[in-house]
Amino acid sequence: MTVPEPRRSIWEPARLGPLTLRNRIVKAATFEGVMPRGQVTDQLIDFHAEVARGGAALTTVAYCAVSPGGRVHANTLVLDKNHVPELRRLTDAVHTEGGLVAAQIGHAGLVANTRSNRTKTLAPSTRFSPPAMGLVRGATREDLDRVIRDFEDAARNAVDAGFDAIEVHLGHNYLLSSFMSPNLNRRKDEYGGSLERRAAFPRRVIDRVRRSVGDSVAITAKFNMADGVPKGLWLDESLRIARILEADGHLDALQLTGGSSLLNGMYFFRGEVPMAEFVASQPKMVGYGLKVYGPRIFPTYPFEEAFFLPMARQFREAVSMPLILLGGINRLDTIDNALAEGFEFVAMARALLRDPDLVNKFRDQQVSEGLCIHCNKCMPTIYTGTRCVIRETLR
């Protein structure tokens, strides 16, 4: 007779690579919007200390660029040596609250606003990019070797700053994700063509990040299951890539996402499209462009609790490595059921913007559901200090 495995508990400490997390809940990256010209500010530190105080086991400092050219815009932090002392204050503050902290590292690729950055960006192959408002050229091999070194340096700087984990951004059609996408990667060399070749560049990056930091920190990847656009990455390929990444053995977990910040910005949010607020947050010309092209780039998807679960289940069947379920998690029973289905962790973004104390409230059985209503009006606040507009009203 086989003895059933005991049900995973949300509240028991759990291993993530070399780390022990105090529970199974991760705060997913939400660009904090409080790094003017890339500076670490007290607001950034307070943001993450508050999440840690609220009970999440691991908070994620959102989108740290590996180089100036890899920034989304000029107010993005570059994880270079200069920022290590200030970031140490941030990691110390999170540790004081009993939490752990990850740095999400990436290169924006086609998503970079090059006018704001005043620096060129890179693409797998030359194409027009709306955020760059022009053509972005396909990277040479030398460019890509440079990007790999930038990832190594950024990862080492993260460790020097006291981060417990590194989340490599392999999603949302940022540079590494765009290499895997058949519609964005038209290269003819060893980094383009077959699925194995399109996966080669992200694999090299992950391999080198792991070599550069060793086994003392956890390394995860935020990984696209599907781009959500015609001819983009879909499950037939992403499942095979996940298996390749598992066999490579460098990652401690995959956080499963989808969508494209370039071509389909609502796929990984669902819910209402805050178009008026988006238009108001942009300079006049961009706002005008948004009015015209916005409905195409931001189609409406109805919100559903745990909207990525049906796709994520395919990954649970395909690989045995730890998986982090993300997307529309707002309820305690959703977390419990995800763990029962074999996911090791869940990640929550908007639910914890709405209420950073939600994890403690779940634990203390004060509530069983968060208050986020998926209006997405927090999205345009990334330009002025990311916040839930409802929470702000009630303060």
Largest CA distance in the chain: 69
On whether the CB atoms of residues 186 and 199 are closer than 8 A, the answer is no
Angle between helices 141-160 and 195-213 (to 10 degrees): 40
d(CA 352, CA 26): 10
Q: Scanning residues 129 to 168, which ones bind ligand SF4 (CB under 6 A)?
A: none
Ramachandran region of residue 271, left (φ > 0), alpha (ψ -120 to 50) or beta? left
Nearest to ligand SF4 of 35, 375 (CB atom): 375
Which C-beta is closer to ligand SF4: that of 269 or that of 343?
A: 269
326 binds, among ligand FMN, ligand SF4, none (CB under 5 to 8 A by kind): ligand FMN
- Contact pick of 177, 354, 362, 382 for ligand SF4 (by CB under 6 A): 354
Restricted to residues 186-215, the positions that interact with ligand FMN (CB under 6 A) are none
DSSP 107: -
Binding mask 155-174 for ligand FMN (x = CB under 6 A): --------------x--x--
Is residue 374 within the footprint of ligand SF4 (CB under 6 A)?
yes
Pick one of ligand FMN, ligand SF4, none as the site partner of residue 390 (Cβ within 5 to 8 A by kind): ligand SF4
Spatial distance between the Cα atoms of 330 and 306, rounded to a whole number of angstroms: 8
Residue 269 interacting entry, from ligand SF4, ligand FMN, none, C-beta within 5 to 8 Å by type: ligand FMN
Q: Whose structure tokens read 């992950």?
A: 206
Give the closest residue to 15 by CA, choosing from 222, 165, 163: 165
Q: How far is the CB of 54 from ligand SF4 (least distance, A)?
A: 14
Please give the Cα distance from 301 to 264 (Å, whole number).
11
Strand partners, 138: 123
Is residue 71 within 8 Å of 78, Cβ to Cβ?
yes
Name the strand (E) or helix (H) holding 136. strand 134-136
Q: Tell me whether residue 99 or residue 138 sits nearer to ligand FMN (CB atom).
A: 99
Active-site residue, 174 included: yes
- Please report whether residue 349 would count as binding ligand FMN according to CB under 6 A: yes
As a dihedral over the C-alpha atoms of residue 298, residue 130, residue 377, residue 86, rounded to 10 degrees, the angle is: 140
# residues near ligand FMN by CB under 6 A: 25
For residues 56 to 95, the per-residue mask of contacts with ligand FMN, x marking binding by CB under 6 A and - elsewhere, is ------xx--------------------------------
The interface partner of residue 44, options being ligand SF4, ligand FMN, none and the CB cut-off 5 to 8 Å by kind, is none
Binding status of residue 179 toward ligand FMN by CB under 6 A = no
- The letter for the amino acid at 219 is I
**Chain residues in the site for ligand FMN (CB under 6 A):** 28-31, 62-63, 104, 169, 172, 222, 257, 268-269, 326-329, 348-351, 378-379, 382, 386
